[in-house]
């Protein structure tokens, strides 16, 4: 039996090879996985033309996944450096790469990622449109925007961020409700500007059915972008954000009628106490579709440390049901991330994702922590390094400050609680002030 997308296959009762791989990774019965894909609660972004892909699932009951944003810009256009970042991100087990390139040889960079990357690849096609057509934003036509989406889909992109929810109605709500930071989404601001300059409806909203034609043809997952995500704590959970979320819920149902897989993008900057309610709202208004968030960044005062502010929000969000975290680096709001910035962002986001998995009792998540705790109790340093989320840093810290006694560290020395409890539990003297007998 033929099928067009993973969702179409699931609804026809077909178990695809991608479903089998994901079910094995997640320790989930493949029938349960198939049923959740059919309902839209799990997605497997897997473009038919991405032949190097190692598929992963995103959604209900699965481990929280992370995405790494990369790409060239006019000020930083070193393709080889960005490709090195891709390689390192994959080595660090990032499940997704988003190419946010906005200048230069974007097609070459994108194709090279697709050819070699087992991680799923996402793009924001509107970023590419200005450079591809060599036109000012105002002069690009609706058809041309859609043609760029199809170009990315044909090349093998697994998911595309499309800001279809900022239609004229949403824009009206935005105009009537003043914000501190206006529209901070890059793609959302470009579309809003295009609408204002041309006095037209958002082309991705107006021609949404044609967009779905493209996604269905190549099995591209729609990442419905949050043009009105809050860019400051002040703007969180406001009328513009909620209005757009309601539109995205309607667009989700339209996509599902065409068997197109969907995830919903979310905030953004948000005070910590509002995060649980926002997750609940997204799941309710968007019918259980997987939720993908940037952060959330829980305070606006920490430039240079936003990998920490976002990890705090990401852990809480994931524990309440967020399925996919977009990493944030220390360079957020300041510059294009360096390789080291990227590494710090990945580690912080992986910690947040795993903390969230513990909070929502994902099968097998606690096993990792239990193994680490046992290694600590046994003072098995090599095992601890093997289990560490960043083994290189753990080894370096240990090596830089070695204790006199191997069964301790330079923080506690012979007063190490693990060391002493092990001895006492075996009926031995702990010998704090003298050498061992």
- 281-332 pLDDT, tens digit per residue, is 999 999 999 999 999 999 999 999 999 999 999 999 999 999 999 999 999 9
On the question of pLDDT at 433 being above 90, the answer is: no
The mean pLDDT value for 43-67 works out to 98
- Cβ-contact 60, 279 below 8 angstroms: no
The position carrying tokens 């948000």 is 270
The band of 71, judged by pLDDT with boundaries at 50, 70 and 90, is confident
Chain centre distance of CA 194: 27
On the question of pLDDT at 437 being above 60, the answer is: no
On the question of pLDDT at 414 being above 90, the answer is: no
On the question of pLDDT at 134 being above 90, the answer is: no
Residues belonging to the binding site for substrate are 69, 98, 127, 163, 185-187, 226-229, 265, 292
Residues belonging to the binding site for [4Fe-4S] cluster are 409, 412, 416
Residue 390 confidence (pLDDT): 96
The band of 155, judged by pLDDT with boundaries at 50, 70 and 90, is very high
The band of 104, judged by pLDDT with boundaries at 50, 70 and 90, is low
Q: How far apart are CA 301 and CA 303, in angstroms?
A: 6
Which distant-in-sequence residues (6+ apart) come within 8 Å of 156 by Cβ?
Answer: 47, 49, 50, 51, 114, 121
Residue 407 confidence (pLDDT): 83
The residues spanned by each domain of the chain are 46-54+62-359, 364-400, 404-437
pLDDT digits (tens, 9 = 90+) for 394-403: 999 999 999 8
Residue 431 confidence (pLDDT): 79
The band of 404, judged by pLDDT with boundaries at 50, 70 and 90, is confident
Residues belonging to the binding site are 69, 98, 127, 163, 185-187, 226-229, 265, 269, 292, 333, 409, 412, 416
- Cβ-contact 214, 255 below 8 angstroms: no
Q: Which residues does residue 98 pair with via DSSP β-bridges, in sequence order?
A: 69, 122
User: What six digits make up the tokens of 140?
Assistant: 């690009």
pLDDT digits (tens, 9 = 90+) for 183-202: 999 999 999 999 999 999 99
Query: CA torsion sign, 323 to 346 to 338 to 53?
Result: negative
Which distant-in-sequence residues (6+ apart) come within 8 Å of 82 by Cβ?
Answer: 70, 71, 72, 101, 109
Q: How far apart are CA 380 and CA 387, in angstroms?
A: 11
Q: Are strands 42-43 and 262-266 parallel, antiparallel or unpaired?
A: unpaired
Residues belonging to the binding site for Zn(2+) are 269, 333
Q: How far apart are CA 208 and CA 206, in angstroms?
A: 6
Q: Is 401 left (phi over 0), alpha (psi -120 to 50) or beta?
A: beta
What end-to-end distance do the CA atoms of the chain give, in Å? Answer: 75
Tell me how many degrees the CA angle 75-76-78 measures, rounded to the nearest 5.
Answer: 145
Q: What is the DSSP letter of 51?
A: T
Concatenating the DSSP letter of every residue in 150-212 gives HHHHHHT-SEEEE-TT--HHHHHHHHHS--SS----HHHHHHHHHHHHHT---HHHHTHHHHH
- Cβ-contact 339, 37 below 8 angstroms: no
The mean pLDDT value for 138-155 works out to 97
Which distant-in-sequence residues (6+ apart) come within 8 Å of 213 by Cβ?
Answer: none
Q: How far apart are CA 266 and CA 131, in angstroms?
A: 27
The mean pLDDT value for 380-400 works out to 96
Residue 195 confidence (pLDDT): 98
When mean pLDDT is compared across 208-222, 313-327, 339-353, 414-428, the lowest value belongs to: 414-428
pLDDT digits (tens, 9 = 90+) for 208-244: 999 999 999 999 999 999 999 999 999 999 999 999 9
On the question of pLDDT at 436 being above 70, the answer is: no
The mean pLDDT value for 377-384 works out to 95
Concatenating the DSSP letter of every residue in 386-402 gives HHSSSHHHHHHHHHHT-
CATH superfamily, domain at 46-54+62-359: Radical SAM ThiC family, central domain (3.20.20.540)
Mean pLDDT of the chain: 95
Q: What is the CA radius of gyration of the chain?
A: 24
pLDDT digits (tens, 9 = 90+) for 60-70: 999 999 999 99
Residue 434 confidence (pLDDT): 76
On the question of pLDDT at 58 being above 60, the answer is: yes
């Amino acid at each position: 039996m033929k099928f067009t997308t993973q969702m179409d296959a699931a609804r026809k009762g077909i178990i695809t090879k991608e479903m089998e791989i994901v079910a094995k990774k997640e320790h989930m019965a493949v029938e349960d996985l198939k049923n959740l894909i059919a309902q839209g609660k799990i997605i497997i972004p897997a473009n038919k033309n991405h032949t190097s892909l190692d598929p992963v699932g995103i959604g209900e009951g699965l481990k929280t996944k992370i995405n790494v944003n990369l790409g060239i810009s006019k000020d930083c256009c070193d393709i080889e450096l960005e490709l090195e970042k891709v390689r390192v991100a994959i080595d660090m087990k990032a499940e997704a790469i988003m190419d946010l390139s906005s200048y230069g040889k974007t097609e070459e960079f994108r194709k090279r990622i697709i050819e070699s990357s087992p991680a799923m690849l996402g793009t924001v096609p509107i970023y590419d449109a200005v450079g591809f057509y060599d036109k000012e934003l105002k002069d690009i036509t609706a058809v041309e925007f859609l043609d760029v989406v199809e170009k990315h889909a044909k090349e093998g992109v697994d998911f595309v961020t499309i800001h279809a929810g900022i239609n004229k109605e949403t824009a009206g709500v935005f105009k009537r409700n003043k914000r501190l930071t206006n529209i901070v989404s890059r793609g959302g601001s470009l579309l809003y500007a295009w609408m204002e300059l041309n006095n037209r409806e958002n082309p991705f909203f107006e021609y949404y059915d044609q967009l779905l034609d493209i996604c269905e043809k190549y099995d591209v997952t729609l990442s419905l972008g949050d043009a009105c995500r809050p860019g400051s704590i002040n703007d969180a959970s406001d009328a513009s954000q909620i209005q757009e979320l309601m539109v995205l819920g309607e667009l989700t149902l339209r996509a599902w009628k065409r068997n197109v897989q969907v995830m919903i993008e979310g905030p953004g900057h948000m005070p910590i106490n509002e995060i649980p309610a926002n997750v609940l709202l997204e799941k309710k208004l968007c019918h259980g579709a997987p939720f993908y968030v940037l952060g959330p960044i829980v305070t606006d005062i920490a430039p240079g440390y936003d990998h920490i502010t976002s990890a705090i929000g990401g852990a809480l969000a994931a524990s309440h049901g967020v399925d996919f975290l977009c990493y944030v680096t220390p360079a957020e709001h300041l510059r294009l991330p360096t390789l080291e910035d990227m590494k710090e962002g990945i580690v912080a986001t992986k910690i947040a994702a795993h903390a969230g998995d513990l909070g929502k009792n994902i099968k097998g998540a606690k096993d990792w922590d239990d193994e680490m705790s046992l290694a600590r109790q046994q003072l098995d340093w090599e095992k601890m390094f093997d289990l560490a989320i960043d083994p290189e840093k753990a080894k370096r810290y240990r090596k830089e400050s070695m204790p006199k006694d191997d069964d301790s560290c330079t923080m506690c020395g012979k007063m190490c609680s693990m060391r002493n409890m092990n001895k006492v539990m075996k009926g031995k003297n702990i010998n704090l002030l003298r050498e061992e007998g």
